[in-house]
Structures are given as C-alpha cells and as structure tokens.
Amino acid sequence: MRRKGGRGDRAAERAEEGPGRCARLGKGAGIVSLAAAMAGAVPAFASGWDLLNMPRGVTNVSTRIYSLHMMAFWVCVVLAALVFGVMIWSLLFHRKARGAVPDVTMVHNTKVEIVWTTIPVLILVGMAIPAARLLVRINNNTDSEVSIRVNGFQWGWQYQYLGTNVSIVSKLSQSSDAASMLDSGTNPRSVPHYLLSVDHPLVVPVGEKVRLLITSVDVIHSWWVPDLGVKRSAIPGFINEASFTIDPSKPGVYRGQCADLCGRGHAYMPIVVHAVSPAAFQTWLKQQESAGKQVSTGEPAPPAAST
C-alpha cells in the first residue's frame, strides 16, 4: 500500500514543501502559485524536446561510450541512406503505373551476393575493434582509490565506504515520494527533480578512480547513472564490480535510476551522486566517520538534503 492512500500520514511532510502544497490550495491561488512554481522549475528540466541523445557524461568511460554510440549511429545512418535510397528509387521508378516492365530474368547474381555479404562483414569488423578495446578498458577495475559497496534493496540503495565505518542509506526524497502518490494533487513539475532526488546522496571525489562493489539484498536491481557511463546489475549472491573516474573539472550532481524491474517501487529508487573535490570528499568522510554509527540518518555535509 505504499503508493495508494497514505495521504493522511504524509500530510505533515507535505506541509514542509512550499510549491507542492500551494498547488493543492484554492483554485485561484493554486494556479498562480503553480505557474510560479513551474516557471521556477524551468531551469531544472530545460525542455523535454531537446532530450534526444545519450549524454556525453563526465567520466573517461562515458565520453568514449558516447563516441562509440555516435560512430555506430552514423554508420547506421549511412547504411540506411544507401539501402533505403535503392528501395525508394524502386518504389518511385519501377512502378507498374509508370509502365515499368519487370526483368524476370533477374533471379540470382553470385558476384553481387558475395559483395553484399563481405562488405557488411568488413563494416562489422570495423565497429567491433573499437568496441572490444573499450570493453576491455571499462572492465579494468584495478588501481581504484575509493571503494564503495552498493547494496540495492526494495527500494533504495545503501552505500558503504570500505575501510571506514561510513554507511549511507539513500532513498527517494520525501518531496518526490509525497508527490508520487496516486491522486496526490501535486504537479510533478513543481517538485525539484521529481523522482530523481534522494534524501542522502552518494558522495564521491572527482579525479579519483572510484570502484563500486554492487550487490543486492533482495531482488535484482541495476545501478545506473548515465553521466558516469556505469550500469551494473545488483544481484543477490553476486558482487559485481564497476569503476569510474570523474573528470576533475566536472564536480557536480549526477542523477540516475534503477534500471531493472524490481517490483512496485522500481520507478522510485533514484541514484544521486555528488562529485566533489578530493579535499572536500576527505573532509566529508571524516565528518561522517566522527558522527559515528548513526550516520545513515545524519546530514551529509557539502550537499543539502533533498537534492
């Protein structure tokens, strides 16, 4: 009964949220404040029409994946132009209505058939080589500077910084959670980063190789942050490895979601990564360590809650 109902229980939490609450007030006031909230929200979402392609991302790996993706895309575009061009030519000029006479002797041509079998093989080899190189590179998880164990659960993520006592439980932020209820009456656009914000984000340093050890305590999940170029299934009984190094010039907030159907909360287990300078990261980690074993409920220092 997580999504349906529960409105009463959440009233107190909702009361803390400005825009979401306004939207449920009287109609006149609601529309005005809704418009204001949406206007305010514009920079956060930009326009959905522009979201056409894979993000280039901020790690060494993600930018290379992007290049590989674009290479494959353009190869497909060129091949499509050639094949569809021939098809369209036939459709236009070899029509009965134009008096075209069929060439019924054209049933087979060994030379042509050899050509259109070997050329695709060569193109495929050309695509496979860079892909294979990148694959080997991505799966090199050695020499990491920070190791974090990622436990997926229904529905959220737990992050344990190995070698420290720091452990964070990261769940959908309360503002998104409340607005996501059936008949919540809240416009999702009025909620900052609706469904893509968490209470306690994962904090990592830029410029250092971060290794993730990903597993699950219940069903199969998948940890995915597009800007990092990392997606790995979290499988009970298995520990999967993944690693990334964020460009030192690109600290920031990177968002993702669970990418494997994991039950009714599948849409509600986002991932938020705060990439900060190594110095800030160390400060944050020390602060968390000294806060003791209660950290999972503590406030992470550099980022504010509900981001």
Partner 1 sequence: MTESHETAVHAEHDHKPHGWRRWVFATNHKDIGTMYLIFSGLMFFLGGAAAMGIRAQLFKSGLELFDPAEFNQLLTMHALMMIFGAVMPAWVGLANWMIPLQIGAPDMALPRLNNLSFWILPFAGALLISAFLVPGGAPAGGWTMYPPLMEQFGASFPMVIFAIHLLGISSILGAINVIVTIMNLRAPGMSLLRMPLFVWTWLITAYLLIAVMPVLAGAVTMLLTDHFFGTSFFNAAGGGDPVLFLHVFWFFGHPEVYILILPAFGVISEIIPTFSRKPLFGYEAMVYATASIAFLSFIVWGHHMFTVGMPVAAQLFFMLSTMLIAVPTGVKVFNWTATMWRGSLSFEPPMLFAVAFLFLFTIGGFSGLMLALVPSDYQYHGTYFVVAHFHYVLVPGAIFAIMGAVYYWLPKWSGRMYDMRLAKWHFWLSAIFVNVLFFPQHFLGLAGMPRRIADYAPQFTDWNMVSSIGGFVFGAAQLLFPYIVWQCVRSGKPVGANKPWEGAHGLEWELPSPAPYHSWQEPPSEAVLAHGAEH
Which of 25, 29, 35, 69: binder of partner 1 (CB under 8 A)? 69
3 state SS for 237-287: CCCEEEEEEECCCCCEEEEEEECCCCCCCHHHCEEEEEEECHHHHHHHHHH
Instruction: Examine residue 186 and tell whether it contacts partner 1 (CB under 8 A).
Output: yes
Instruction: Examine residue 122 and tell whether it contacts partner 1 (CB under 8 A).
Output: no
Which of 168, 258, 276, 295: binder of partner 1 (CB under 8 A)? 258
Which of 12, 121, 279, 304: binder of partner 1 (CB under 8 A)? 121
Which of 144, 147, 164, 240: binder of partner 1 (CB under 8 A)? 240
Instruction: Examine residue 129 and tell whether it contacts partner 1 (CB under 8 A).
Output: no
Instruction: Examine residue 249 and tell whether it contacts partner 1 (CB under 8 A).
Output: no
What angle is formed at CA 253 by the lines to CA 198 and CA 53, rounded to 5 degrees? 105
Residues 6+ positions from 299 with CB-CB distance below 8 Å = 305
Q: Shortest distance, CB of residue 203 to partner 1, whole angstroms?
A: 21
Residues 6+ positions from 167 with CB-CB distance below 8 Å = 158, 159, 160, 161, 295, 296
Instruction: Examine residue 96 and tell whether it contacts partner 1 (CB under 8 A).
Output: yes
Closest CA to 63 of 225, 227, 209, 205: 227
Q: Which is nearer to partner 1, 121 or 279 (CB)?
A: 121
Q: Which is nearer to partner 1, 143 or 293 (CB)?
A: 143
Q: Shortest distance, CB of residue 52 to partner 1, whole angstroms?
A: 5
**Cα–Cα distance measured from residue 201 to residue 272, given in angstroms and rounded to the nearest whole number:** 5
Q: Which is nearer to partner 1, 55 or 302 (CB)?
A: 55
In the shown chain, the binding pattern of residues 199 to 218 toward partner 1, with x for contact by CB under 8 A and - for none, equals: -------------------x
Residue found by looking up tokens 């087979």 in the block:
108
59 with 245: CB under 8 angstroms? yes
| φ, ψ of residue 134 in degrees (nearest 5) | -65, -40
189 with 45: CB under 8 angstroms? yes
Q: Segment 139-178, which members bind partner 1 (CB under 8 A)?
A: 139
Gyration radius of the chain over CA positions: 26
Q: Segment 265-304, which members bind partner 1 (CB under 8 A)?
A: 265-268
Instruction: Examine residue 101 and tell whether it contacts partner 1 (CB under 8 A).
Output: yes
Q: Which is nearer to partner 1, 25 or 77 (CB)?
A: 77
What is the b/e burial string over 11-24, where b = at least 16 CB atoms within 10 angstroms of the residue's CB?
eeebeebebbbbbe
Instruction: Examine residue 184 and tell whether it contacts partner 1 (CB under 8 A).
Output: yes
Residues 6+ positions from 204 with CB-CB distance below 8 Å = 146, 148, 210, 246, 273, 274, 275, 276, 281
Which of 25, 81, 261, 305: binder of partner 1 (CB under 8 A)? 261
Closest CA to 205 of 137, 147, 270: 147
Q: Shortest distance, CB of residue 178 to partner 1, whole angstroms?
A: 11
Q: Which is nearer to partner 1, 4 or 293 (CB)?
A: 4
Q: Shortest distance, CB of residue 181 to partner 1, whole angstroms?
A: 7
Stretch that binds partner 1, among 129-137, 158-166, 244-252, 272-280 (CB under 8 A): 129-137
